[in-house]
Structure 1
Amino acid sequence: MVLACPLPALGLEPGDVGVVIHVHGQGAAYEVEFISLDGRTIGLQTLEAHQLRPVSASAVPHERLRAAA
Structure 2
Amino acid sequence: MNYELYSDVILLSDLPDERLYAGDIGTVVEQHIVEGLEPGYSVEFFDLLGNTVAVVTLPGSSLRSPTPADRPTVRSANHVAA
Could you tell me the TM-score, scaled by structure 2's length?
Answer: 0.75
Structure 1 stretches of 4+ with a deviation exceeding 6 A read none
Aligned partner of 1:59 in structure 2 is: 70
User: Structure 2: any 5+ residue segments left out of the alignment?
Assistant: 1-8
Q: Which has the larger radius of gyration?
A: 2
Q: How many percent identity over aligned positions?
A: 32
Q: Which has the higher contact order (CA 8 A, sep 6+)?
A: 1
User: Structure 1: any 5+ residue segments left out of the alignment?
Assistant: none
Classify the secondary structure of the residue corresponding to 2:25: coil
Please report the RMSD computed on the Cα atoms of aligned residues, expressed in angstroms: 1.7
The structure with the greater share of residues assigned to helix is: 1
Within the alignment, does 1:18 sit opposite 2:26 as a pair?
A: yes
Could you tell me the TM-score, scaled by structure 1's length?
Answer: 0.87
